[in-house]
Structure 1
Amino acid sequence: MSTDRLWTLKELAEFLGVPTQTIYQMNWKGTGPRSYKVGRCRRYDPHDVRQWLEGRSSDTGSKR
């Protein structure tokens, strides 16, 4: 999967290792990575996806 172009929903799901339905739910809830509407399709910038993942990482050293 190339990182120099926008990913499709299916490519994002494959990258994250989750079902495409999970991506649809994240889009609907507004909890997923930033996406772009291109025509009737939704696309994802790999850089944005990695930033989103970084923001969701758990800090194993902190106690909550």
Structure 2
Amino acid sequence: MRLAHLGFMDTDTQNTSPRTLEVLSLPELAERLHVTAQTLYDLRAKGRGPRGFRVGPRLLFRVVEIEDWLARMEAEDARRRDRSRQ
């Protein structure tokens, strides 16, 4: 995990905590989740992947967004399980 040093691009740096600047690249995220980069591309194409942004050619993901995305995936999975049990 690296810190993106992009604070100079934000005119309101007082609302930017170091935590919101933590980012992972696509290969780093894929490695952490034990999936391929293609899996992440496919999820994003279906509208089910984490929100990311480009800096030049690199696709980056804020760690806080990844955590939110994982929580949404867990909640969706729990709802599917609950429906299948009824």
TM class, shorter-length: 0.7 to 0.9
Q: Which residue of 2 aligns with 1:46?
A: 63
Q: CA RMSD in A?
A: 2.1
Stretches of 4+ moved more than 3 A in 1? 1-4
Bigger RCO of structures 1 and 2 (CA < 8 A, at least 6 apart): 1
Counterpart amino acid of residue 62 in structure 2: D
Greater fraction strand:
2
Runs of 5+ unmatched residues, structure 2: 4-18
TM-score (norm 1): 0.79
CA distance in 1, matches of 2:82, 2:47: 27
Once the two structures are aligned, what percentage of the paired residues are identical?
A: 33
Greater fraction helix:
2
Whose radius of gyration is greater, 1 or 2? 2
TM-score (norm 2): 0.61
Q: Report the count of equivalent residues.
A: 63
